[in-house]
Structure formats: structure tokens, C-alpha cells
């Protein structure tokens, strides 16, 4: 009996230490992988206005997407308030060295002369190796998918506290450690792109413009590019079916489109945008940064346009500004769920983490690494998920069945 009690005590202590270590690592890694559209953690008070659930409607031919009636959806909470003074001082600094490159990602290594059919670009942070592994082993695997050649890269900046200025010995040691780890990961998987800017939430715009420049230089012949976050699940087969009839030489940027989103003017909000920074009452139409797809033609044009648009601290809104400069309208698609799958109020106990939902979608945002791995294997079992009825992939807006 005493031995059993001692074992129970040791197990409890192990769990307690594990939880403490997890909290410590979470605090040191500057939060989760940065993204502008991940759902808020449950139970956390929202610093600004809370958007209601959106309703997707099937867009009529030639019709504009439905307007988003609330304020801009709130990103995950960064570690501190946005320093507008620093932003205004550094906003013209937009060229940073590429520390780790993959120059042959779209050429050689079995790639056809015309380049890959789909390049997957995933925003990540150095500490998030677990999510990168989940993506590599599931929806982001390189190779042939339904006959299409797929390639993958992860987009990273320098971890906070490991900057390139070498101000002190501790910072230099941290920088050396992260550099060694990322270079080892790059040698193992050949999919790391690392730039010399600090990897913070408000530097995601830098990640946007540097990736566009990189892809234009090193993947000029890619047919399509999917760009998203590390906490999304992507049904690549459905994405390729959506792209199959599309011409890569025609403009396309498709995803979860948000129009008439209003800047947050509440000073208490961490996402407060003063009128001195953006004076218009609404943002241009933009696709949620959790995941969207663009064509080769749009990639080339965006790279040039974004080089001329003044930097803005919200990356997907910034991309909407670049599209506006090109007079391009993003295309809404109901299978891109960058706010996850909300439970309907009439069925609050309905299980939304179900492969029968996911098999009809393209992108679902806000999953853990374990959820991504599990959903992938549920969908790719030998006989697939046992669902009540088949629904065509592109059959209009997602609807809850009876």
C-alpha cells in the first residue's frame, strides 16, 4: 500500500513539474506561432469589441462578398502593446538578409522544368518544431498528390532575444543555439527560410514581403502557392481540385474574404490602430491570413505591388492594401474556414472535430499539432471516414445537416 501511495505521489509530482515546464516554455517562446486570424483562447477576456459568428453565403456570379459587419477579427494576444513610435521610426526598414535559403526548392530534386504545381508556404516560429513536424508528416508532405507536384517551405524570423546585434554574451549564446538548431533542421528537411528580422507578431508583414520576393526569385514558374499558418489543417486534395480548372497565368487570390472590416479604435485594445496610422473607416477587402491560395500571375504582381505599399502592422490587411493597388478583388470560397468551424447555437453539443466535416473543406484554422495529425489519419484511413452522405466539395456554402 505504501509503495502504491509513493508511486501516486511521484506521478502527481511529475505532472506538476511538466505543467510548470510547459508554462515556462510558453512564456519564453513569445506565445504561439504568430497569426492574424487564430481564434482566441477560451476564457480570456477580449481587449476590444468581440466579433459575432459570421455566416457564409454562396456568392452569386459577379457579386461582391458579404460585408463583415463587426470590427476586425482579433489576432491572438501578443506579449505587449504595439509600440507605434518604434513602428513609425522603422517602417521604411524593409530589407533584411536571408540567413537560411532553399535556392533549389522549386528547381531540381525531381521538379519538372516548369516548376512545381503547388508551393506550400507556412508561417512558423523557431520554437514551434512540433507543429512543423505535424505539417511535414500530414498535409504538408512533399511529393505527388493526385498527380500534382507539391513542395513546402517554412517562413521564420530570428527568435526574440536572439537578435543579430550581439549586444551581450547571453544574447550571443542564445543566437548561436537557435542558429545551430535551425541549420540542423534545414539540413534534415531542406524547407527552412530564415530572415534576419525579429520574429514578432507585428513583423508578420515583413515575413509577407520577404516571402513574395523570395518566391518570385526562386520559384518563378510555380503554378500556385498556398500560404498559411502552422495551426491550420489543409485538405490538399480538395485544394488541388479547386485549382485544377484554373489558369496560373490568370489572377487569383482565394480564401476566407473579409470586406468592410473596421479598424479597432479602442485605445485599451492591443490592436488599436490610431487614425494617424490608418485614417479610413474600413480596410480594403482581404483574405484571412490563416490560409489562402494565389496563382503564379498574382504572385508576380503582388511582389511588385507590396514593395511599393507602406508597411502596415497587420499582415493580411497589408496584403489587401497591395491587392487594392493592383485593383484585384480576392475571391471568397466557403471551404476556407480561417475562424474554425463554429458550433451552431441550436446544437451546442455537436462535435465539430469530425472528419465528415473536414473532408468537404479546404482550410480549417486553430488546430493543435496533435489535432492536425489525428484528423489527417482519420481522413486517410483505408476506407475513409464513415459519413452519412457524400457532399460534393464545391457545392456552395457549408451548412449544418439535419
Distance CA 112, CA 114 (A): 5
Tens-digit pLDDT string for the chain (402 aa): 444 444 444 445 444 434 443 443 444 444 333 333 433 333 333 333 323 223 333 344 444 444 444 444 444 444 455 565 666 556 667 789 999 999 999 986 555 667 899 999 999 999 999 999 999 999 999 999 999 999 999 999 999 766 555 555 555 667 788 989 999 999 999 999 999 999 987 789 999 999 999 999 999 999 999 999 999 999 999 999 999 999 999 999 999 999 999 998 887 776 678 888 899 999 999 999 899 999 999 999 999 999 999 999 889 999 999 999 999 999 999 999 988 887 777 667 777 888 988 999 999 999 999 999 999 999 998 877 878 655 444 434 333 333
> Cα–Cα distance between 47 and 40 in angstroms, integer?
11
Give the domain CATH number at 102: 3.90.550.50
Distance, C-alpha 59 to centroid of its chain: 24
Q: Residue 301 corresponds to which cell in the numbers above?
A: 504582381
Residue 201 lies in a domain: yes
How many separate domains does the chain show?
1
Position 190 in a domain: yes
Q: Is residue 380 part of a domain?
A: yes
CA distances from 265 to 97, 203, 279, 345 (A): 35, 21, 10, 29
Q: What is the pTM of this model?
A: 0.75
Query: Quick check: is 4 in a domain?
Result: no
- Answer yes or no: are the C-beta atoms of 254 and 261 closer than 8 Å: no
E strands along 335-383, which residues?
A: 336-337, 363-365
In a domain, 136, yes or no: yes
Whether 163 is covered by a domain: the verdict is yes
Q: Is residue 2 part of a domain?
A: no
Question: How far is residue 286's CA from residue 359's CA, in Å, rounded to a whole number?
Answer: 25
Expressed as residue numbers, the domain containing 297 is 66-72+84-342+350-388
Contacts for 190 with CB less than 8 Å, ≥ 6 apart: 102, 105
Residue 321 inside a domain? The answer is yes
Amino acid at each position: 500500500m505504501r509503495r502504491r501511495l509513493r508511486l501516486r505521489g511521484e506521478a502527481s509530482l511529475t505532472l506538476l513539474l511538466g505543467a510548470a515546464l510547459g508554462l515556462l516554455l510558453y512564456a519564453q517562446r513569445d506565445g504561439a506561432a504568430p497569426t492574424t486570424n487564430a481564434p482566441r483562447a477560451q476564457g480570456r477576456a477580449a481587449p476590444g469589441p468581440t466579433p459575432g459568428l459570421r455566416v457564409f453565403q454562396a456568392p452569386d456570379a459577379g457579386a461582391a462578398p458579404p460585408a463583415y459587419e463587426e470590427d476586425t477579427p482579433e489576432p491572438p494576444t501578443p506579449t505587449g502593446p504595439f509600440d507605434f513610435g518604434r513602428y513609425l521610426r522603422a517602417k521604411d526598414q524593409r530589407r533584411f538578409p536571408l540567413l537560411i535559403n532553399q535556392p533549389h526548392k522549386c528547381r531540381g530534386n525531381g521538379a519538372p522544368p516548369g516548376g512545381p504545381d503547388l508551393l506550400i508556404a507556412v508561417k512558423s516560429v523557431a520554437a514551434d518544431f512540433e507543429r512543423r513536424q505535424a505539417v511535414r508528416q500530414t498535409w504538408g508532405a512533399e511529393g505527388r498528390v493526385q498527380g500534382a507536384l507539391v513542395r513546402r517551405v517554412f517562413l521564420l524570423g530570428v527568435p526574440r532575444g536572439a537578435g543579430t546585434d550581439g549586444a551581450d554574451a547571453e544574447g550571443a549564446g542564445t543566437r548561436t543555439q537557435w542558429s545551430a538548431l535551425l541549420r540542423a533542421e534545414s539540413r534534415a528537411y531542406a524547407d527552412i527560410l530564415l530572415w534576419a528580422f525579429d520574429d514578432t507578431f507585428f513583423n508578420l508583414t515583413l515575413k509577407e514581403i520577404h516571402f513574395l520576393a523570395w518566391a518570385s526569385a526562386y520559384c518563378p514558374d510555380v503554378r500556385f502557392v498556398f500560404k498559411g499558418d502552422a495551426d491550420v489543417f489543409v485538405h490538399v486534395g480538395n485544394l488541388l481540385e479547386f485549382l485544377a480548372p484554373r489558369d496560373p497565368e490568370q489572377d487569383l487570390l482565394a480564401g476566407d474574404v473579409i470586406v468592410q472590416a473596421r479598424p479597432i479604435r479602442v485605445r485599451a485594445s492591443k490592436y488599436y490602430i490610431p487614425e494617424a496610422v490608418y485614417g479610413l473607416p474600413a480596410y480594403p477587402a482581404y483574405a484571412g491570413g490563416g490560409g489562402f491560395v494565389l496563382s503564379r500571375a498574382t504572385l508576380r504582381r503582388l511582389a511588385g505591388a507590396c514593395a511599393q505599399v507602406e508597411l502596415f502592422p497587420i499582415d493580411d490587411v497589408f496584403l489587401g492594401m497591395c491587392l487594392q493597388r493592383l485593383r484585384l478583388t480576392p475571391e471568397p470560397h466557403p471551404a476556407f474556414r480561417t475562424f474554425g468551424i463554429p458550433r451552431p447555437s441550436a446544437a451546442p453539443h455537436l462535435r465539430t472535430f469530425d472528419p465528415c466535416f473536414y473532408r468537404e473543406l479546404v482550410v480549417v484554422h486553430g488546430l493543435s499539432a496533435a489535432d492536425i495529425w489525428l484528423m489527417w489519419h482519420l481522413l486517410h484511413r483505408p476506407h475513409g471516414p464513415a459519413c452519412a452522405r457524400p457532399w460534393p466539395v464545391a457545392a456552395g456554402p457549408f451548412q449544418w445537416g439535419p
